[in-house]
Structure 1
Amino acid sequence: MNAPRLLVLQPSQSDPLAKLGDWLEAEGIDLDLVALKDEPAPENLDGYQGVVCLGGEMGALDDLDHPWLADARRLLSSAVSKRLPTLAICLGAQLLAAATGGQVRKGPQGPEVGVLLVAKRDAAAADPLFADLPFTPDVLQFHNDEVHLLPPGAEHLAASPKYPNQAFRVGESAYGLQFHIETTPEIVLSWAAKDPESASCARAHHFDQEFLEQAHRDFEEVWQPFVGRFAKLVRGELLPALGSGTQLPLV
């Protein structure tokens, strides 16, 4: 039996697959990575059993400077319509929201940066990926924009005090995470060095090497099993969420 194949859309070299790639490959998933800045996106999703879309420093609608963002939104829209398991992270989550009728904007409360908590919402209790998460898992935040309005029919799965739309599901199996779960301490430190203005919004010790190493051990304990459940969804070993048949406006 052939291994399931995921299309991985990478908008920026600054946000690689990192730990997420390790976890997916450990689950026997084949990864087809497309660096959107350097190579064309595929025309369609034929031959793929799922999609991952990573983060980046650009905005979800910055098509003038990054015209390939339209390709990312098109493929995410197609993934939802085809009911392919999809995991979209940070910018990826914003692209997923924009592709399916939601709204993205610059966060009016400024950057959200650091090792912070998100809280599960009521709908998470019935979700196949979120149900087994702790109620307030640790995550890595590093973003300036927010998903202001969720797509019509989306399930709201997690929130933070600063920006409420932290995690959501569109359709039965397309997930957007505003936060990061894939990073390493070195990646986070590189972001802080490149964007010291945003980094200054976090508590200073959040960029200490020892603190970040412990935080990433905590991330792994929670989020590797989450990715394992996503892999089961891709393999067809886990049923998608029920009651998600709403027809969405795919834009």
Structure 2
Amino acid sequence: MASILYVCVRPEQGAADAEHQSFRRALGVPALDRWDLLERPLDASTAEQYDGIVVGGSPFNVTVEERGEVQRRVENSLEQVAQDAVDGRLAGMFTCYSIGVVTRMLGGTVGTAVPESTRATSIRITTAGADDPLFGPSAPQMSVLTAHKEGSIEPPPGAVLLATNDDCPVQAYRVGDRLYATQFHPEVTPQDFVDRMTYYRTTGYFAPHEYDLTAARVLAASVTGTDLLRRFAEVVSTR
């Protein structure tokens, strides 16, 4: 079985704990080591002890003009680990906020023109994605959960676009065969997402007075995004 490390970048302890368990369940592993980047940097020698890493979401945004010391430290560590994945030293799945960090690192552009509200949405698997071991089995489309304020309209240089939709053109890409990045959340079930919403009622992902309506819509959705992480664990274990 592959050894995988969950890298946490959420300041909210309850949301971080729940995300950790969501990743563990979606990966299909009995235990999942955790590293909290807000508490300490992740050095390459530690990361490379694992076959792969998965990076969760965060209320941080890479497009803000003033990034605090903690956010800068977090992003420096994420860039180092992402480079390890680009160089083939480990496999990485970077989700939500961390796709922005990776995109910027690779020379791409992240902006605020293509946000998506808290909801389930359908994404289309590209031709390249149909041949990918993670995304191919879900072609031609899959249902996923989104909530983000920033994104990209095209993948960064050197990346292969794997999934897209009309609202946010870059939903997922791959660099080489070891680094994956998704704008959506592949780890959560609808109930997970609603539980997480309680921590972010007033942070701009949805209108606070529409919490009940938004939660009901999420709970009514059927999503297939968690299949990606199970496949990620399987692929990592064979390489």
* The two structures share one fold, judged by TM-score above 0.5: yes
Unpaired runs of 5+ residues, structure 1, are 238-251
Unpaired runs of 5+ residues, structure 2, are none
Aligned counterpart in structure 2 of residue 127 of structure 1, from 129, 132, 138:
132
Deviation at 1:182, TM superposition (A): 2.0
Deviation at 1:86, TM superposition (A): 1.3
**Counterpart for residue 229 of structure 2:** 227
Match of 1:7, as an amino acid? Answer: L
**Counterpart for residue 110 of structure 2:** 104
Structure-2-length-normalised TM-score: 0.82
Is 2:115–2:167's contact at 8 Å kept on the other side of the alignment? no
How well do the aligned residues superpose, as a CA RMSD in angstroms?
Answer: 2.5
Structure-1-length-normalised TM-score: 0.78
For 1:61 and 1:79, the matched residues in 2 are separated by: 23
Structure 1 residue matching 2:110: 3-state secondary structure: strand
**Counterpart for residue 49 of structure 2:** 47
Q: Whose helix fraction is larger, Structure 1's or Structure 2's?
A: 2
- 1:18 and 2:21 matched: yes
Change (3 A) 1:206 1:156: farther
* Pairs within 5 Å for 1:1-251: 3-12=1-10, 13=12, 14-15=15-16, 16-24=19-27, 26-27=28-29, 30-44=31-45, 45-60=47-62, 63-65=67-69, 66-68=71-73, 69-105=75-111, 107-183=112-188, 184-195=192-203, 197-200=204-207, 207-209=214-216, 211-215=217-221, 218-219=222-223, 222-236=224-238
Structure 1 residue matching 2:157: 3-state secondary structure: coil
Is 1:157–1:167's contact at 8 Å kept on the other side of the alignment? yes
Is 1:102–1:148's contact at 8 Å kept on the other side of the alignment? no
For 1:119 and 1:204, the matched residues in 2 are separated by: 28
Identity of aligned residues (%): 22
Change (3 A) 1:233 1:206: farther
Counting matched residue pairs gives 225
